[in-house]
């Protein structure tokens, strides 16, 4: 799937692209049917909500589950990001976030690249997030919120929040959020026909199977899920191969260490059983839990002094 010049221009301006219903109900069901098995394990790669048994994030499903291993090689996700970054990609991170009904907690305002720089020594922001809805996303079940154009600010100052949720996260100060939102049009307005025209915050919503591409510096968040409807989504962080991380501060199930270029499967790979490897199907190896604070490989720019401990963006 190639992006048009108009889509490339829109991404440059806004920092994200939204593709409603990109995957069919049949394709999406292949993935949703595999989620209960992922979430059933008591393992470090399943992070649960604070004070709850509900899974907040499952890491590295593409290493344990064949449907997700096929998704990780799907041309509808890989090819657009290759168009944007102009290079072959590797999988930096793979998450299945489960914002479950009544239990899904907030994701504070943050950028993802700040963590990738500070923890993983990723040299530049030449990485991208892809989100795929496995449930319908509506106004009430904790949809993503973006500040359009905020990626143009580059890496912004952040603080390490260790208390709000079960996830330690580098979060953006409220005053800066106010500034970014105001610059983007503040709270929006209603047009002559009574339709709401968004301002400084955008929240893409749509049916299961919809997909969002968004820049690694785009400031984003989501509220808690007070509805009875789950909001499970897959998040893939795809990085240009030449921009691979230079430090293994975090375990491999969070920040991957295989920098091999992704080879796409055929477009029907979610409905046909193309062979794929799932090397962690029988357990995560001990080596994937080993970490180091020492950099390796090519020299990169100095890392910000706010380097985080255990951040999981």
Residue carrying the six token digits 């920092």: 15
Higher pLDDT, 57 or 185: 57
Region of poorest pLDDT, from 56-65, 89-98, 158-167, 208-217:
158-167
E strand or H helix at 187:
none
Residue-wise pLDDT tens digits, 31-89: 999 999 999 998 888 888 888 888 889 999 999 999 999 999 999 999 999 999 999 99
Q: Closest Cα to residue 248, out of 58, 121, 93, 63?
A: 121
| 127 confidence band (pLDDT: 50, 70, 90) | very high
Strand runs labelled E in the chain: 16-19, 46-48, 55-59, 89-99, 107-110, 127-133, 144-146, 158-161, 169-172, 189-190, 196-197, 211-215, 220-222, 231-240
Higher pLDDT, 170 or 85: 85
pLDDT surpassing 60 at residue 166: no
Q: How far apart are CA 256 and CA 6, in angstroms?
A: 33
Residue-wise pLDDT tens digits, 92-126: 999 999 889 998 888 789 899 988 988 899 999 99
Region of poorest pLDDT, from 32-46, 189-203, 241-255:
189-203
Region of poorest pLDDT, from 44-48, 157-161, 220-224, 298-302:
298-302
- Predicted local distance difference test score (pLDDT) of residue 49: 83
Residue-wise pLDDT tens digits, 271-308: 999 999 999 999 999 998 999 988 987 544 444 433 33
pLDDT surpassing 60 at residue 154: yes
pLDDT surpassing 70 at residue 163: no
What are the residue boundaries of the structural domains of the chain, listed by start? Answer: 5-289
- Predicted local distance difference test score (pLDDT) of residue 216: 95
- The pairs formed by 69-73 with CB atoms below 8 angstroms and a separation of 24 or more are 69/276, 69/277, 69/278, 70/265, 70/269, 70/270, 70/274, 70/276, 71/31, 71/132, 71/234, 71/236, 71/269, 71/270, 72/236, 72/262, 73/262, 73/263, 73/264, 73/265, 73/269, 73/276
CATH superfamily of 5-289: q2cbj1_9rhob like domain (2.60.120.620)
- Predicted local distance difference test score (pLDDT) of residue 199: 75
Residues in the chain: 313
pLDDT mean over 114-142? 94
pLDDT mean over 175-199? 80
What is Dmax (Cα atoms) for the chain? 62
pLDDT surpassing 90 at residue 168: no
Percent with pLDDT over 70 in the chain: 91
- Predicted local distance difference test score (pLDDT) of residue 269: 98
| 147 confidence band (pLDDT: 50, 70, 90) | very high
Phi, then psi, of 92 in degrees rounded to 5: -80, -40
Q: How far apart are CA 120 and CA 50, in angstroms?
A: 25
Alpha helices in 90-242, H assignment, sequence order:
113-120, 174-183
Spatial contact of 58 and 38, defined as CB atoms under 8 Å apart: yes
Alpha helices in 208-277, H assignment, sequence order:
none
- The reported pTM is 0.87
């Amino acid at each position: 799937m190639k992006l048009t010049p108009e889509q490339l221009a829109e991404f440059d301006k806004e920092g994200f692209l939204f593709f409603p219903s990109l995957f069919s109900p049949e394709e999406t069901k292949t993935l949703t049917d595999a989620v209960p098995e992922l979430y059933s394990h008591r393992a470090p790669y399943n992070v649960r909500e604070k004070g709850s048994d509900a899974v907040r994030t499952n890491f590295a499903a593409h290493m344990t589950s064949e449907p997700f291993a096929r998704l990780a090689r799907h041309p509808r996700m890989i090819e657009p990001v290759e168009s944007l970054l102009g290079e072959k990609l590797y999988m930096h991170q793979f998450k299945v976030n489960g914002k479950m009904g009544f239990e899904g907690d907030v994701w504070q305002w943050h950028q993802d690249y700040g963590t990738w720089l500070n923890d993983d020594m990723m040299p530049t922001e030449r990485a991208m997030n892809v989100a795929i809805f496995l449930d319908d996303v509506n106004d009430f079940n904790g949809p993503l919120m973006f500040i359009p154009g905020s990626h143009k600010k580059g890496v912004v100052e952040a603080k390490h929040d260790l208390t709000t949720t079960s996830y330690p996260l580098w979060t953006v100060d409220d005053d800066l959020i106010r500034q970014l939102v105001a610059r983007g049009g503040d709270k929006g307005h209603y047009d002559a026909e009574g339709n709401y025209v968004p301002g400084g915050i955008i929240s893409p919503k749509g049916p299961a199977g919809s997909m969002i591409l968004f820049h690694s510096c785009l400031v984003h968040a989501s509220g808690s899920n007070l509805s009875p409807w789950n909001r499970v989504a897959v998040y893939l962080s795809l990085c240009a191969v030449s921009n691979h991380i230079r430090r293994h501060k975090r375990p491999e199930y969070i920040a991957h260490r295989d920098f091999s270029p992704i080879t796409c499967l055929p477009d029907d790979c979610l409905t046909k059983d193309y062979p794929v490897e799932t090397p962690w199907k029988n357990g995560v190896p001990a080596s994937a839990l080993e970490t180091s604070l020492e950099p390796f490989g090519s020299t990169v720019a100095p890392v910000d002094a706010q380097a985080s401990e255990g951040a999981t963006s």
